[in-house]
Amino acid sequence: MSHTPTGLPFDDIRALLPQMPQASDTCVDIVRARDQELVKPAGALGRMEEIVEWLAAWQGRSQPAVLRPMVAVFAANHGVAAQGVSAYPQAVTRQMLETFAAGGAAINQICATYDIGLKVFDLALDIPTGDITQEAALDEKAAAATFAFGMEAIAGGADLLCLGEMGIANTTIAAAIYHALYGGEARDWVGRGTGVDDAGLNRKAAAVEKAVALHKAHLRDPLEVMRRVGGREICALAGAIMAARMERIPVVLDGYVVTAAAAILHALDPSSIDHCIAGHLSSEGAHGEVLSRLGKKPLLDLGMRLGEGSGAALAVGLIKAAVACHNDMATFEQAKVASKPN
């Protein structure tokens, strides 16, 4: 990327890209060699084997481990909610944070089931971002500061990071990001989110179209997309993905909203999300199209459209099982099973 440093906050983000650690091919080779020895037909664990290779590559460990998985949920409010784009009122964002704290949400139960840590971050809920149909969501300084907050938030605490979000109207924000990055028609990118009716869906498409038209002159730069038609949780999620890369923590993406933060980084540098896996395919319509643009094949497809990190956290069950098979299965020799087919 040709870029002259100017000392602006976004330059601090761009400066991270050339410093990203790369996958460890050596660790992958060691994992593959052990896979050959394990007491099963070659390749019989299919994608479970690929999951272990991915963990090894990005943890930089020849024997990968998932001992401290964490879900980080970033919560924010959005000025665009005033356009009538959600089936629920903005107050639900804070009410759900109280529900997370009380242990009553879906994500609490999934984390308890798979022994996953849960951290929830309130990103200035009382101050919704600017309505993207009227103005930029955030100025550059605030966007960069929130990205930095997301980087800090995940520091030091996990060997696998699942990302989640809570923010009424944020499926509209995600759709605006995809429309800005990938073009097409606004309608192609909007879905029913929390369950808007046909009139609500029309208002969503109109809001996305208006926002992208308003900011059009500035949307060639993915970081401008992030601050103008995005929101605080999108900035923090992008920061968390970047920090995880720097710390060699593999990342499990959630659904339509979390993937929008990954799409921003991918647009800056496609290799910047190589340490990320897609936990699931959201039933928010365009998620499949987005994942194929990002080159990600989702692990689960359960017809879910919740957010909160729920699809990512469910995938941890599979990931833990994949690691257990790899690390703890017997070899043909140990099990005294004939290793060569007739």
Ligand X SMILES: Cc1cc2ncn([C@H]3O[C@H](COP(=O)(O)O)[C@@H](O)[C@H]3O)c2cc1C
Residues in touch with ligand X (CB under 6 A): 86-88, 92, 96, 165-172, 193-194, 306-308
Give the shortest CB-230-to-ligand X separation in angstroms: 14
> Between 171 and 272, whose beta carbon lies closer to ligand NIO?
171
Choose the contact partner of 314 out of ligand X, ligand NIO, none; CB within 5 to 8 A by kind.
none
- With beta carbons less than 8 A apart as the criterion, state whether 86 and 193 touch: yes
CB of 194 to ligand X, least distance (A): 3
Half-sphere exposure of 303 (CA within 13 A, CB side): 0
Both structure tokens of 14:
């761009």
What is the nearest approach in angstroms of ligand NIO to the Cβ of residue 109? 17
Specify the residue, 96 or 229, whose C-beta has the smaller distance to ligand X.
96
Give the residue, chosen from 69, 222, 255, 279, that forms a contact with ligand NIO under the rule CB under 6 A: 255
Report the DSSP pairing between strands 276-278 and 251-253. parallel
Phi, psi of 259 (to 5 degrees): -65, -25
Decide if residue 256 touches ligand NIO (CB under 6 A): yes
Residue appearing with tokens 């109109």: 206
Chain CA centroid to CA 41, Å: 34
| Residue 161 found at the interface with ligand NIO (CB under 6 A) | no
- Paired tokens of 328: 């703890």
Q: Do 58 and 250 meet the contact criterion of CB atoms below 8 Å apart? A: yes
Q: Which of 244, 287, 235 lies closest to 264 in space, CA to CA? A: 235
**Cβ closer to ligand X: 224 or 284?**
284
Q: Which stretch binds ligand NIO (CB under 6 A): 70-78, 91-99, 106-114, 254-262?
A: 254-262
3-class DSSP assignment, residue 332: helix
Closest C-alpha among 145, 76, 55, 114 to residue 307: 76
Closer to ligand X at the Cβ: 111 or 323? 111
Helix, strand, coil percent content, the chain, rounded in steps of 5: 55, 10, 35
189 sits near ligand NIO (criterion: CB under 6 A): no
Instruction: Name the residue among 320, 322, 325, 321 with its Cα closest to residue 39.
Output: 325
Q: In this structure, which amino acid lies at residue 4?
A: T
Residue numbers annotated as active site: 308
Residue number with the shortest CB distance to ligand X?
Answer: 193
Quick check: 86 and 174 in contact, CB under 8 A? no
What is the smallest separation between the CB atom of 127 and ligand NIO, expressed in angstroms?
Answer: 21
The residue whose Cβ lies closest to ligand NIO is 255
Q: From the list ligand X, ligand NIO, none, pick the one residue 266 interacts with, judged by a Cβ distance below 5 to 8 Å according to partner type.
A: none
To ligand NIO, the closest distance from the beta carbon of 22 in angstroms equals 29
Nearer to ligand X, 194 or 202 (CB): 194
Q: How far apart are CA 321 and CA 48, in angstroms?
A: 8
Choose which of 307, 309, 314, 326 interacts with ligand NIO (CB under 6 A).
307
Closest distance of CB 140 from ligand X, Å: 25
Q: Does 298 bind ligand NIO (CB under 6 A)?
A: no
Provide the binding-site residues for ligand NIO, judged by CB under 6 A.
171, 193-194, 254-257, 282, 284, 305, 307
